[in-house]
């Protein structure tokens, strides 16, 4: 029997949308045996551009792509969807306070969570890319009333950025770097954990042997990579963000290779002392189709300090959205 998934994509005519749809349609997200239907959501003013994207998708004649819907209505886009990729969001603009950013995105992600509960498939899952992605995901989860295990936000791009930085510093192939966990929030407080990351099976910190570089330049490079790309390209990361989203959903839907882990923001069940229900990035594995947080990783004083800082930021964001009445 052939599998088929309905994938709703919000912000589908944006930069990341343009880079991701062709890869989903070619089978890279769900594998070569799964047919896909795309249900694309945009703001009314972007429907014209979205129609152009649809024409290009048609012109690829992808064997696995069975249907494309373009709409500005959530209930149409989410109808029976198995996956909702929430890419559309309102980015922070100059002079905007964090609370304003959360408020304006709360206006998107609250209704999104409700529409997911009402219209999507009973097994549907939400994967949030649009920033601030952890808290947007939290707002949608709370608004939906659905089981918390169905909600994810993306630190996959940060994980991949960190892997490449370590590989280049150590002078090894990027495939040698494993267990690269981003802890916490997809923000400037994220902690890319070079102590628990491995190069050729050994601690990356030991292999690189330069903790001053790792604690300072490495972490800052990963945290500020998005800004560096904007400076160089004049536009924010798009193809790499789309690639991360493809890989992130793939990781959630396929068993993880032995000994490896991947980073994913999901609702804490109290692991590592993180408040239950916070959308926090942890080391994860999928075994026999079941997703779990890998427990038992240890932090030294430096790591624990970084961990606490990103946890504190997420607690503050949660408290702010509660105070604003967004959840
Ligand atoms: P674009 O501005 O190119 O595209 C966003 C699209 O979303 C636009 O076409 C807009 O019309 C649409 N949109 C806005 N509000 C919508 C709504 N309520 N319903 C449906 N569509 C809506 O941004 P793009 O470069 O594609 O980035 C999208 C989001 O990804 C941004 O929030 C950005 O901050 C975030 N990112 C997250 C990353 C991560 O690692 N989690 C990395 C890349 C990226 O910066």
Q: Which residues are catalytic?
A: 186
* pLDDT per position as a tens digit, 169-195: 999 999 999 999 999 999 999 999 999
The pLDDT assigned to 94 comes to 75
| C-alpha distances out from residue 150 to 73, 82, 83, 182, 201, Å | 22, 11, 10, 20, 32
* pLDDT per position as a tens digit, 118-164: 999 999 999 999 999 999 999 999 999 999 999 999 999 999 999 99
What average pLDDT does the segment 84-105 reach?
86
First to last CA, the chain: 41
Q: pLDDT category, 100, cuts 50, 70, 90? A: confident
pLDDT at 107 over 60: yes
* pLDDT per position as a tens digit, 282-322: 999 999 999 999 999 999 999 999 999 999 999 999 999 99
What residue owns the CA closest to ligand 1's atom 27? 16
Q: Residue 325: helix, strand or coil by DSSP?
A: coil
Q: How far apart are CA 276 and CA 205, in angstroms?
A: 31
C-alpha 31 to ligand 1 mean position (Å): 25
* pLDDT per position as a tens digit, 281-290: 999 999 999 9
Find, among 121, 128, 152, 178, the residue nearest to 281 by Cα.
Answer: 152
Find, among 161, 169, 163, 182, the residue nearest to 211 by Cα.
Answer: 169
Complete DSSP assignment for 161-197: HHHHHHHHHHTS-GGGEE--PEEB-SSTT-EE-TTT-
C-alpha 282 to ligand 1 mean position (Å): 24
284: how many CB neighbours lie within 10 A of its CB? 20
What average pLDDT does the segment 201-212 reach?
97
**Helix/strand/coil percentages in the chain, nearest 5:** 45, 20, 35
The pLDDT assigned to 14 comes to 97
Q: Write phi, then psi, for 99 (nearest 5 degrees).
A: -65, -35
Q: Tell me whether 0.85 is exceeded by the ipTM.
A: yes
Read off the tokens for 246. 């493809």
Q: pLDDT category, 97, cuts 50, 70, 90? A: confident
pLDDT at 1 over 70: no
Dihedral sign from CA coordinates of 321, 322, 326, 327: positive
Q: What is the mean pLDDT of the chain?
A: 96
Q: Annotate 85-103 with b (16+ C-beta within 10 A) or e (fewer).
A: bbbbbbeeeeeeeeeebbb
C-alpha 87 to ligand 1 mean position (Å): 5
CB 252 within 8 A of CB 125: yes
Q: How far apart are CA 126 and CA 264, in angstroms?
A: 12
- DSSP annotation of 294 reads P
Which residues form ligand 1's pocket by a CB distance below 6 Å? 10-11, 13-17, 41-43, 46, 87-89, 91, 108, 129-131, 133, 154, 157, 186, 226, 236-238, 241
What average pLDDT does the segment 272-281 reach?
98
What average pLDDT does the segment 211-225 reach?
96
Q: How far apart are CA 209 and CA 170, in angstroms?
A: 9
What residue owns the CA closest to ligand 1's atom 25? 15
């Amino acid at each position: 029997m052939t599998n088929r998934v309905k994938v709703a994509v919000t912000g589908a005519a944006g930069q990341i949308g343009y880079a991701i749809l062709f890869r989903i349609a070619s089978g890279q997200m769900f594998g070569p045996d799964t047919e896909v239907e795309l249900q694309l959501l945009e703001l009314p003013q972007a429907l014209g551009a979205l129609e152009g994207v649809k024409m290009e998708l048609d012109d690829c004649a992808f064997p696995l792509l069975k249907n494309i819907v373009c709409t500005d209505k959530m209930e149409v886009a989410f109808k029976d969807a198995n996956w909702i990729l929430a890419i559309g969001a309102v980015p922070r603009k100059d002079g905007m306070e964090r609370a304003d950013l959360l408020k304006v995105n709360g206006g998107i992600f609250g209704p999104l969570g409700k529409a997911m509960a009402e219209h999507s498939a009973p097994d549907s899952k939400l994967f949030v890319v649009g920033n601030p992605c952890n808290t947007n995901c939290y707002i949608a989860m709370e608004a939906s009333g659905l089981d918390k295990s169905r909600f994810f936000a993306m630190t996959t791009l940060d994980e991949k950025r960190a892997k490449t930085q370590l590989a280049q510093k150590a002078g090894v192939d990027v495939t040698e770097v494993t267990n690269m966990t981003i802890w916490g929030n997809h923000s400037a407080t994220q902690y890319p954990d070079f102590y628990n990351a491995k190069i050729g099976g050994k601690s990356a910190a030991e292999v690189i042997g330069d903790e001053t570089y790792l604690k300072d330049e490495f972490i800052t490079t990963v945290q500020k990579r998005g800004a560096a790309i904007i400076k160089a390209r004049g536009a924010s990361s798009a193809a790499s963000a789309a690639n991360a989203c493809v890989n992130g959903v793939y990781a959630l839907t396929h068993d993880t290779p032995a000994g490896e882990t991947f980073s994913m923001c999901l609702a804490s069940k109290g692991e590592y002392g993180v408040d239950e229900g916070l959308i926090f990035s942890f080391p994860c594995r999928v075994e026999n189709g079941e997703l779990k947080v890998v427990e038992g990783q240890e932090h030294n004083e430096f790591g624990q300090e970084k961990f606490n800082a990103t946890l504190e930021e997420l607690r503050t964001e949660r408290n702010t959205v509660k105070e604003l009445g967004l959840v």
